[in-house]
Amino acid sequence: MDKHGIPSAPVTEASLSGAVPYKAAVVSYFDGMFASHRQLLSYGARFCGDEPLLAILCYADPRPSLSPGKDTMILTVTERWQYLDALHHVHILPWPIIQEPGGSVPAEGQLWPLDPNKLLTKINRLIPGHELWDNVEMAGLLEQWDREEDPGFVVIDRSFKKVLCPARQPVIQMLSEGSVDLFREETGYAYPLSGRVVAGRQVGRQIGFPTANIQLPDQRKLIPRFGAYAAMAFIGGKWYQGMVNIGIRPTISKEAMHIEAHLFGFDDMIYGEWLTIALIGHLREEKRFASLEELTKQLRIDSQEAKKMLDANAPFKTKGPFVL
């Protein structure tokens, strides 16, 4: 991963063709990066010794058999990629493989298939996560792949077959209520919102609170309750304190949902750069103010409250662009 949080290049079909087989590979959607996902990664690493573990990021049809919330993502593909990329000695293979000429950031939805037979000849042990066994179609495919009696092919490790899938609804409910502090306690990391910085209407700059407008790469990303939040922001390899507004900006004009981050002590032009914000605590609900002057007064109060909240939670432990 580079200083901007851009993940490193993935394992590709071409690089697999001449590679020595991986001692172990784990495969999962990794959405939410729950404790069971981390256990899967730790378990897989046991078989690898000093060699890298292959993490297969499966996302062609996110959680097709899971509900509720099956059409939403807690973490986008890019965020899951970033988390895995921050781990030591892990190689990442998106599956189906991503096709994005000239770039290494996963392009949501731009896919091309990988021949499973080629993949299986490069893995000694394949360890599917709990979501794969929960999916009837995928479980049937895994059974078809299991050639344990033939030493020339992969061993399908069933250790996570009976592991219960994590309950997504409680953490989804936490986010819908704006309880990002409880989400962090439950998952072990602060809820991230990541995307490219795009141009806005510059109203924040006019009133002394310049903001970076984040364009999410996937509209299925779960959005927390509208309002103002204290947050940490990762840009250019550095962390900054700040505050974030999520909502329709009713004081300025009711528009589509916006995510605007104001970084304390930061005023660089960062259009087109990748920005990750980690939500630490909820400050207040979104509301309409009678004038820009009233809004400005409230933003001053918000910034003071955000700094107090962030200082109270500091120092922050981080992993790549994630606050733990």
Distant-in-sequence, close-in-space partners of 208: CB < 8 Å, separation ≥ 6: 296
pLDDT band at 204 (very low <50, low <70, confident <90, very high): low
Helical spans, DSSP H, in 223-291: none
> What are the pLDDT digits (tens) for 19-39?
678 899 998 889 899 988 999
Residue 5 resides in a domain: no
Asked if 213 and 311 sit in the same domain, the reply is: yes
What domain count does the chain have? Answer: 2
**Amino acid making up residue 264:** F
pLDDT value at 148 more than 60? no
Distant-in-sequence, close-in-space partners of 200: CB < 8 Å, separation ≥ 6: 211, 213, 258, 260
> What are the pLDDT digits (tens) for 43-56?
999 999 999 999 98
Give pLDDT, residue 254: 65
Give pLDDT, residue 314: 92
Asked if 158 and 197 sit in the same domain, the reply is: no
CATH (domain of 146): 3.40.50.620
Annotated catalytic residues are: 260
Asked if 205 and 148 sit in the same domain, the reply is: no
Residue 118 contacts residue 17 (beta carbons within 8 Å):
yes
Among 59-63, 124-128, 145-149, which is the least confidently predicted range? 59-63
Q: What is the mean pLDDT of residues 9-15?
A: 65
Share of the chain above pLDDT 70, in %: 76
Asked if 180 and 318 sit in the same domain, the reply is: yes
Identify the domain containing residue 112 by its residue range: 13-166
The neighbour count for residue 61, using CB atoms within 10 Å, is 12
Q: What is the mean pLDDT of residues 129-140?
A: 75
Nearest to 323 by CA among 220, 194, 171: 194
Backbone angles phi, psi at 294, to 5 degrees: -65, -40
Q: How far apart are CA 250 and CA 243, in angstroms?
A: 18
Give pLDDT, residue 231: 98
CATH (domain of 276): 2.40.30.30
Asked if 192 and 136 sit in the same domain, the reply is: no
> What are the pLDDT digits (tens) for 109-123?
444 455 666 777 788
> What are the pLDDT digits (tens) for 223-242?
999 999 999 999 989 999 99
Residue 25 resides in a domain: yes
pLDDT value at 8 more than 80? no
Tokens of 202: 């510059």
Asked if 217 and 104 sit in the same domain, the reply is: no
Say what the pTM is.
0.85
- Summary mean pLDDT of the chain: 81
> What are the pLDDT digits (tens) for 162-196?
877 777 889 999 999 999 999 999 999 999 999 99
pLDDT value at 61 more than 50? no
Of 133, 166, 199, the residue at which a domain comes to its end is 166
